[in-house]
Amino acid sequence: MELWLLRPDGSAEKVHEVNALLFVTDYNDGKIVGQGIFKGDPRAYEIFIYDIKRGEFRVYTPKDGSVNKAPKVKGDLVLFATTAFGNEKLMIYNLSKEELEEPKFAYNDYEKYDFVEYVNFNWTEDGRIWFIGKRNGRTKAFVDGKEVPMPEGFSSNMAVFYEKVYITHSSLTSPPKVYEVDLKTGKRRVVLSAELPEDVASRFGRVSFIQYESSDGIKIPTYVIESNVAPKPGPTIVYVHGGPWAEVVDGWNVLIASLVVSGYHVVAPNFRGSTGYGENFRRMDIGDPGGGDLDDVVNAAKWARKSGLASRIAVMGYSYGGYMTFLATVKRPEVWDAGVAGAGIVDWEESYKLSDAFFRQFIDTLFGGRRDLWKDRSPIHFAERLKVPLCIIHPQNDTRTPLRPVLRYVMKLLELGKTFELHVVPDMGHVIRSIEDILKIVMPAIIFLDKYLTSEG
């Protein structure tokens, strides 16, 4: 991959080229820093530092095989998160001394919490460190080790101006807000918000964080969002997040919210491969996508029925969640009453051929180099097993998960006489960027679900 420097005047310059998958996470004091796979282990990330003046590219890891991410640079100090010592931990690499140091904080509030991951962190202008730690999909924020008092939920970013903090916050039932918090007094106030109409807000029911066992005994952390306008047992969606290296947190998710207010309970499993529950858990789907993670999703549906939450169940997801929906409806069709697949992959081999170098490397990393699994984990080879109505929603200009293989899958379904809908979204790429994009996905999905879940087809 190539490393480019974009200047304020719009000009750009290629400054370095390396045969590795990498991501830039910060630029400051004449240095570009980021993370990448430089040592050939797809389960590990090293950090890199590129000194523009010296033209020097340096790769660093405190321990081979560890995951090191999101470095931020200030002078000769690089702050990053690492799993080199067990659970994720913040550390500082001193470039001039070539030494690893632990951050020092003026306060010890953070010691009360056992964080699994760090959502965000950085330096303040005066050299203090702020960070947002996460456990079970909920966060706590700190400046120089002192807790920033916030409601339960999820924060992803913050800015510190002396003793004032401006921090984002949301939950699964509350849209994003920006709070101003006074570090001296602990007082907070909302400075920017998006409030729901009362008749919409009243549709949200209880939010629960639960863990159920998958078939092999692994516990799967899950958020359950009940709808106040759905009976119990009632129509339920098993929502499969994208990524797969992502998660459902206690933060605003417009797709989940749309389903809940439309009268559906939602079960959102953080299946193996999800972030937020430790590096060992995240690595579990490498070399096995569509295997153990699919089993986790199937067991989410079983839990929903056994607990009395669900009557009829659909599986639904976008991107990797769309792929899992395609696969779940042909590999385990007996579990579902319907499926909604958004921007999913149906054929790994063809997708690989159509992909750019970046996505090819992602596929190789995800499968751990096991191309022998491509056929077995590609839904297109099992189309005849589809037994439930399927709604396919796919962007026309998607370069990440191209439309062409999906159209071949659709032709197979047509020839087999299967029940399905196809919605091709014109002038849209893979990433959901606007309210209009969301509506183009949510509206056909809900109309379809109303037909096959609430009216029982």
What would the pLDDT profile of 343-363 be if each residue is shown by its tens digit?
999 999 999 999 888 788 889
Which entry of 169, 241, 394, 430 is annotated as an active-site residue?
430
Q: Can you tell me the mean pLDDT for 98-107?
A: 95
- Average pLDDT estimate for 12-38: 89
The pLDDT value given to residue 226: 98
- Fold match between domain 2-193 and domain 198-454: no
**CA 430/CA 82 separation, integer angstroms:** 30
pLDDT at 457 over 80: no
Alpha carbon distance 27, 32 (integer Å): 5
30-86 pLDDT, tens digit per residue, is: 999 999 989 888 788 999 999 988 989 999 999 999 999 999 999 999 999 999 998
Q: From the candidates 250, 293, 337, 398, which is the catalytic residue?
A: 398
pLDDT digit string, tens, across residues 269-283:
999 999 999 888 998
Buried/exposed code over 62-99 (b: 16+ C-beta within 10 A; e: otherwise): beeebbbbbbbbbeebbbbbbbbeeebbbbbbebeeee
Was domain 198-454 assigned CATH 3.40.50.1820? yes
Residue of 227, 311, 319, 351 with catalytic role: 319
- Smallest CA-to-CA distance from 342 within 424, 416, 285, 281 is with 424
Domain with residues 2-193, CATH architecture: 7 Propeller (2.130)
Active site residue 381: no
Sequence ranges of the domains in the chain: 2-193, 198-454
Question: Does the annotation mark 169 as catalytic?
Answer: no
Which band of pLDDT confidence, cut at 50, 70 and 90, is reported for residue 5?
Answer: confident
Following DSSP, what letter does each residue of 435-447 receive, concatenated?
HHHHHHHHHHHHH
Residues 302, 60: Cα–Cα separation, whole Å: 45
pLDDT tier, 456 (very low <50, low <70, confident <90, very high otherwise): low
pLDDT at 228: 98
319 counts as catalytic: yes
If you search the block for the tokens 């010296």, which residue do you land on? Answer: 54
pLDDT for position 431:
84
